């Protein structure tokens, strides 16, 4: 048998060290919890419910939880790498501190199948971490688990798409009847407590000032400068810019109209007409 080269010996030694490290953390786990803002009030999705499920599973199968990390108020469409909590998970994975990531459901990892699958693959191939769903009995450490995981991820993505479609349909229907169909409440208005808009006197006066000055021939920059000089906060509580002024001048809501553009799959659909709210411009 030929003598092993130094390169081969080094590779074998590195593999032995990595194998020993994997053995050391084989029973160490981290729990990952996530809840989006709209899910916080829904039964079964709360952080407490997720943590309880993860801890009970770890106890049942003999895993030691070294940490439980949460991303509260984070949408499942946000890339895991952009979530503060999941970045902590990745830091522990890079340091080879654990070998199993526990989630209550795989949609806690990501709603989008591409994000879920790529994140799982990165954890597994780069850091030797497998993911287990404690309520779906799936372990990405096995070939069958990876297949089932892909199926469940696809189902979660389809569910989210269906919710988006239903939400969009409801918003379009409401807009078609002249109602406020969601989004940021326009400057000059507040919620009427019933899903509609009510005029806010203080900011509505600013809207009237902008339209009045524009009608008198003042430019966008001059109007913005005047508002800043009088220390009137912009819609976001900051300085006024010509773009802020232009947006208000071009918003049909102030004339008592609704105007929405709904985009799905690259197709845009305009819904416009008289609104059920009172216009500031009378």
User: In Å, what is the CA distance from 116 to each residue of 27, 53, 87, 128, 151?
Assistant: 23, 20, 15, 16, 11
Q: What is the torsional sign of CA 101, 104, 106, 108?
A: negative
State the Rg of the chain over Cα: 27
234 tagged catalytic: no
- Nearest 5°: phi and psi at 109? -75, -50
> 5, 36, 81, 246: which is the annotated catalytic residue?
36
DSSP percent split of the chain into helix, strand, coil, nearest 5: 50, 15, 35
Residue 2 burial (CB count, 10 A): 5
Question: Which of 221, 259, 261 lies closest to 243, judged by CA?
Answer: 221
Helix 113-127 and helix 143-176: axis angle, to 10°? 150
Residues catalogued as catalytic: 36
């Amino acid at each position: 048998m030929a003598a092993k080269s130094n390169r081969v010996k080094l590779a074998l030694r590195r593999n032995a060290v990595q194998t020993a490290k994997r053995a050391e953390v084989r029973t160490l786990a981290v729990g990952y919890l996530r809840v989006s803002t709209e899910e916080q009030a829904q039964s079964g999705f709360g952080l407490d419910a997720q943590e309880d499920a993860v801890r009970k599973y770890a106890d049942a199968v003999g895993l030691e939880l070294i940490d439980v990390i949460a991303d509260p108020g984070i949408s499942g469409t946000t890339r895991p790498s952009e979530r503060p909590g999941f970045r902590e998970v990745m830091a522990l994975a890079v340091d080879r501190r654990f070998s199993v990531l526990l989630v209550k459901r795989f949609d806690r990892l990501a709603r989008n199948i591409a994000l879920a699958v790529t994140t799982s693959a990165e954890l597994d191939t780069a850091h030797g971490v497998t993911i287990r769903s404690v309520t779906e009995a799936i372990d990405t450490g096995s070939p069958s688990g990876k297949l089932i995981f892909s199926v469940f991820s696809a189902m979660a993505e389809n569910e989210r798409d269906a919710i988006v479609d239903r939400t969009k349909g409801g918003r379009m229907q409401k807009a078609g009847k002249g109602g406020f169909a969601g989004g940021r409440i326009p400057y000059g208005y507040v919620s009427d407590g019933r899903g509609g808009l009510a005029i806010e006197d203080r900011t509505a006066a600013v809207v009237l000032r902008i339209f009045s000055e524009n009608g008198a021939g003042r430019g966008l920059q001059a109007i913005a400068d005047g508002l800043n000089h009088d220390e009137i906060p912009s819609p976001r509580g900051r300085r006024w810019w010509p773009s802020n002024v232009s947006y208000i001048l071009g918003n049909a809501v102030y004339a008592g109209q609704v105007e929405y553009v709904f985009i799905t799959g690259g197709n845009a659909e305009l819904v416009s007409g008289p609104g059920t709210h009172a216009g500031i411009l009378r």
